[in-house]
A and B are shown apart, each in its own frame.
Chain A
Amino acid sequence: MSSIAQKKGFGATVWDYMTTVDHKKIAILYFISGGLFFVIGGIEAMMIRIQLMKAGNDFLSAGLYNEIITMHGTTMIFLASMPLLLAFMNAVMPLQIGARDVAFPFLNSLGFWLFFFGGIFLNLSWFLGGAPDAGWTNYASLAMASEGHGIDFYTLGLTISGFGTLIAGINFLVTIINMRAPGMTYMRMPLFTWTTFVASALILLAFPPLTIGLFFMVFDRLFGANFFDVAMGGNTIIWEHLFWIFGHPEVYILILPAFGIFSEIFAIFSRKRLFGYTALVFATILIGFYGFMVWAHHMFTVGLGPTANAVFALATMIIAVPTGVKIFNWLLTIWGGSISFTTPMLYAIAFIPSFVAGGVTGVMQAMAPLDYQLHDSYFIVAHFHYVIVGGVVLAILAGTHLYWPKMFGTMLNEKLGKVTFWFFLIGFHLTFFIQHFLGLMGMPRRVYTFGTDQGWDAYNLISSVGALFMAIGVIVLVINVILTTIKNERVGNDPWGDGRTLEWAIPSPPPFYNFAQTPLVRGLDSYWIEKMEGNKEGMVYAEPLGDIHMPNGSFIPVVISFGMFVASFGALYHMDGDKAWALPVLIIGLAITFGSMLVRSLKDDLGFHITKEELLRDAKGGNKDGSK
């Protein structure tokens, strides 16, 4: 293995990415596929808003509309937001703690490919008889009654991609616990690493309930079990509990890394250390902890009784306290700083009012009796889009601009970035602010049409116009990405000039082994400390330059995931009863998966070493683009 850069053909590049176990390349895989699904989910959102722009519109049929809202929600949560955040976690977190890679590089690759094949499987439902149509929450009674295979694509697809996410979560936990550089104590970890850590713990605890629920449904629908069949003594409310025991922490799995990204941005572009770092860390942990105790606030109208409703109402309100602590600490971070209004900072600045608006409506919904009115109305639609778009999507867009140089070695155009920002921000508020009032005026969510006699026409039209603005913003971003990639102006270690944490201490993009020498961390914002002390070398190092042990790439993760993908088709069509090929396909698929696992277990793969000489050659300016 040589570390000398070679010009590779397209096929070789694809093969390189399919076999890579490098966290930075896996980050790019997550980023590209997450971005693709984000665009698909966005197109679905546009179709929803076109349908609802006027009363009695017939752009979409009733059944198709339900498929589109289901796929919009499912795609945006599971296939867009999560992988895009996982992309940043993969790209940045190991660098922030001074690690060579994540703890289990092979599993990292497996996690991605499981997510990818699960997502593809779910989206193939469009071409194979219809998409799922019971809402992204997939409530059991409707899901069980749904005809066709849409729901089966949902359950099987999410099971596969859920495995992937679970693997990623475990991997990050182990990485952060075990692979921190010398001196990187827990209370010196950058906030994005902290939020990755807590979000990973949430993944570990929240995904199993979802997997159980999905398994129940798979067995009900495909193999005739009766977990949710009321006539046979089953209970559909169980699904709601399982789903929301997962579903509420899921919101924090999304928002905590978003908080992390914004925390980094506030510090960098205010040139100031995070105000109340300790408080921010503990608020993060508290939010994660409370996140598991509030799921029934999604179920206030189910009829759980006043005691359960009152307890969950109070528990939910408590979450506002640590969240408020965070908001005020961010405000005090920029207070007294030197604010530079770069594109990432604009997103972060816009995030505060947007998220506060989403947060206060959250507290309003925590008041159970008031929620009887708000639940399942457009008020809820407005609320969760304020939190998810105003929090998570703004963070993803901010992170895209912030970390683009670190991931790809070139800067996105700031001017176009600001154009995207303004279109997206104005469109976002235009679309969703007015939906609060639609909800209060009695409009239920998930309606494919409404009458002219309900008094909702004007507000719906305004909302649809807003969606158009958001779409323009995203299109400008895509243009920006293309232009930037064509121009390809290379940048140095710290392109924003004010980087504070370890990832800004090494080249953009970093070499594939990250740090030639593991750095020594001497405090919070370790790179900033070195900069302020005028350290010419960039960092202080904890070890002399020596050979580095690296893992080999592997194609096995793709094969394992592909086997699951094949087996899912077998399981899905097996329920039809008239397809003799279904059972063999199921068996072959599982054989591929378990066979490749066996190969992985039996074949020793000891990796390879990069020699000191190669490292020295790199340091002189040989390999900078991160490829082997």
Chain B
Amino acid sequence: MKKGLKNWRLFALLTALLVFLSGCGREEISTLLPAGEVASDQFNMLILSSAVMAFVILVVTIIYVLAIVKFRRSKIGEDVIPEQVEGSAKLEFLWTAIPIVLILIIAVPTVYSTFDLADTSTMDVAAEDGSMTNLTVNVNAMLYWWEFEYPEQGIVTSQELVVPTGERVYFNLLAADVKHSFWIPSIGGKLDANPENVNTFYLTFDKESSELEDGVFYGKCAELCGPSHALMDFKVKTLSPEDFDQWVAAMQEETPPAEETLAQEGEQLFGADGAGCIACHATSGVGKGGVMQGPNVATFGDRNRVAGILEHNEEEVKNWISDPQKYKPGNLMPSPKALNDGKDFTEQELDALAAYLMSLSVEE
């Protein structure tokens, strides 16, 4: 009996939590459920400013409601001429001074935090053995996909950012075409990827993404960049430092050739002698950023989505390859006809390509 009651309590608590959580959006993307130090700082500022503003609203509401209840013409009489008050210097002083105090309350953390979040002093600091103390990722934003280069590790990936938890990760942002903006709402605020200069900031990832319902955090482009701006999503996989090192090591290895026959057929078609997909899509994780025209596919089989938006299964891979414009209007991937001597891929060829792409994996 007692145990039952306890369960019931737990259930009630969970339900309440669930209602609360659903009101705050999804853990993968909501700024109200911060999963990193930067987002937490920003969330705290949201709470602080909301509290100050709630006070302001309360004061205004009290005067407002009293005024419109007390001084209705129907109540005080049709022909009353109210006293023509000029004003009051005391009151003017009061409602100038109090807002200034309120503003000071929010100004101090604002200035502190502005400088704190822009602090990149530990960015290029090397440890005794010559390795960098902090991870740096170069982000290249392109119509409509994201490339993530790890310069120290000599690896590059795309569409899915993989980072270790519990440490500062520095980002260098650059746009290859038009302006984009790099935003992972539950990890921290956004910073623009400009075409003319590199922007640098840091984020900290506190939670392993495997704990999330969808297994990844959602990243967004936050600056209008063309028709498919809404579809310029990326995903963030956060791993424990050990798992991350393992992932880096796996990325640095050579990609083994495909094993299954269907996948081998796909590899053939993918390569220079087939449709030539490889001219834009590297299949090896080793390399530099900003070189290839299309996303690196070394981790394709490990990903959470196809093209950042479609469900991760072979059917969607085939749909995407057959008609990229249908799913992301205005993207720069050629149609099959442009690659395959003016013909669409056959069902067999699509199956082979999908099988090959899905076999590309660096995780066990």
A residues touching B (Cβ–Cβ < 8 Å)?
61-63, 65-66, 133-135, 139, 141-142, 145, 230, 235-237, 270-273, 275-279, 301-303, 305-306, 309-310, 313-314, 317-318, 320-321, 324-325, 327-329, 331-332, 334-341, 349, 352-353, 356-357, 360-361, 363-364, 366-373, 375-377, 437, 440-442, 444, 446-451, 453-456, 532
Among B60, B76, B106, the residue within 8 A (CB) of A353 is B60
Residues of B within 8 A of A444 (CB): 183, 220-222, 230
**Alpha-carbon distance between A66 and B230 when the two chains are bound, in angstroms:** 10
Q: Are B42 and A370 in contact (CB under 8 A)?
A: yes
Segment of B112-120, B151-159, B287-295 engaged in the interface with chain A: B112-120
B residues touching A (Cβ–Cβ < 8 Å)?
22-26, 29-32, 39, 41-42, 45-46, 49-50, 53, 56-57, 60-61, 63-64, 66-68, 70-73, 76-77, 80-88, 91-92, 95-96, 99-100, 103, 106-107, 109-111, 113-118, 175, 177-179, 181, 183, 185-186, 188-192, 194-197, 199, 214, 218, 220-231, 309, 329-330
**Alpha-carbon distance between A320 and B226 when the two chains are bound, in angstroms:** 35
Q: Are B53 and A364 in contact (CB under 8 A)?
A: yes
Q: Is the interface of A mostly helix, strand, loop or mixed?
A: helix
Give the nearest-CB partner of A448 in chain B: B230
Task: Using known A-B contacts A317-B107, A335-B67, determine if residue A276 contacts B82 with beta carbons closer than 8 Å.
Answer: no
Q: How far is the CB of A348 from chain B (nearest CB, A)?
A: 11
Give the nearest-CB partner of A269 in chain B: B73
Task: Using known A-B contacts A236-B194, A314-B107, A324-B99, determine if residue A367 contacts B45 with beta carbons closer than 8 Å.
Answer: yes
Q: Are B30 and A455 in contact (CB under 8 A)?
A: yes
Residues of B within 8 A of A273 (CB): 84-86
Given A61-B329, A455-B30, 14 other A-B residues pairs in contact with their CB atoms under 8 A: A62-B227, A139-B179, A142-B179, A237-B194, A270-B82, A325-B92, A332-B85, A336-B82, A364-B49, A369-B110, A440-B25, A449-B230, A449-B231, A453-B214
Among B32, B53, B88, B230, the residue within 8 A (CB) of A440 is B32
Among B46, B181, B231, the residue within 8 A (CB) of A376 is B181
**Alpha-carbon distance between A317 and B104 when the two chains are bound, in angstroms:** 9
Q: How far is the CB of A131 from chain B (nearest CB, A)?
A: 13
Q: How far is the CB of B187 from chain A (nearest CB, A)?
A: 10
Q: Are B118 and A442 in contact (CB under 8 A)?
A: no
Q: Are B64 and A442 in contact (CB under 8 A)?
A: no
9 A-B pairs with the lowest CB-CB distances in the bound complex, closest first: A372-B189, A441-B25, A447-B230, A442-B185, A276-B87, A442-B29, A303-B199, A62-B227, A360-B53
**Alpha-carbon distance between A321 and B92 when the two chains are bound, in angstroms:** 11
Residues of B within 8 A of A145 (CB): 177-178, 226
Task: Using known A-B contacts A317-B106, A331-B67, determine if residue A275 contacts B87 with beta carbons closer than 8 Å.
Answer: yes
Residues of B within 8 A of A236 (CB): 179, 194-196
- 11 CB contacts below 8 A, A to B, read A63-B227, A271-B73, A321-B96, A364-B53, A367-B45, A372-B117, A375-B190, A376-B181, A437-B25, A441-B25, A447-B230
Among A237, A271, A320, A532, the residue within 8 A (CB) of B82 is A271
Q: Are B185 and A373 in contact (CB under 8 A)?
A: yes
Among B56, B66, B189, the residue within 8 A (CB) of A360 is B56
Q: Are A66 and B26 in contact (CB under 8 A)?
A: no
Q: Are B179 and A325 in contact (CB under 8 A)?
A: no
Q: Are A310 and B73 in contact (CB under 8 A)?
A: no
Residues of B within 8 A of A437 (CB): 23, 25
Residues of A within 8 A of B100 (CB): 321
Residues of A within 8 A of B188 (CB): 372-373
**Alpha-carbon distance between A166 and B67 when the two chains are bound, in angstroms:** 40
**Alpha-carbon distance between A427 and B303 when the two chains are bound, in angstroms:** 42
Q: How far is the CB of B156 from chain A (nearest CB, A)?
A: 23
Q: Are A373 and B39 in contact (CB under 8 A)?
A: yes
Give the nearest-CB partner of B221 in chain A: A444
